[in-house]
Amino acid sequence: MKSFDYEAVVYDCEVYCVSCLPGGVDVEGDDVSPIFADSEWDYYPVCAECGEVHNYINLTVEGRRIIREHAMKEATRHIVSEFERLRTPYDINNGYCQEWAEYVQAKLEEQGIDVEVEETPEDYEASGHFWLKVDGRYYDAECLEGVDDWEKLPIFVRQKH
Distance CA 150, CA 84 (A): 29
Tell which one of 7, 14, 18, 20 touches Zn ion (CB under 5 A).
Answer: 20
DSSP secondary structure code for residue 2 in this structure:
-
For the bound state, the minimum distance from the C-beta of residue 56 to Zn ion, rounded and expressed in Å, comes to 13
The piece of 15-23, 31-39, 77-85, 92-100 that touches Zn ion (CB under 5 A) is: 15-23
The H-assigned helical ranges of the chain are: 61-82, 89-92, 97-110, 154-159
With contacts defined by CB under 5 A, name the span among 49-57, 77-85, 93-101, 132-140 that binds Zn ion. 49-57
Residues 52-111 contacting Zn ion, CB under 5 A = 52
Q: Which of 6, 9, 11, 17 binds Zn ion (CB under 5 A)?
A: 17
Tell me the CB-side half-sphere exposure of residue 132, using CA atoms within 13 A: 31
Between 17 and 72, name the residue whose CB sits nearer to Zn ion.
17
Distance CA 88, CA 83 (A): 11
> Is residue 113 close enough to count as binding Zn ion by CB under 5 A?
no
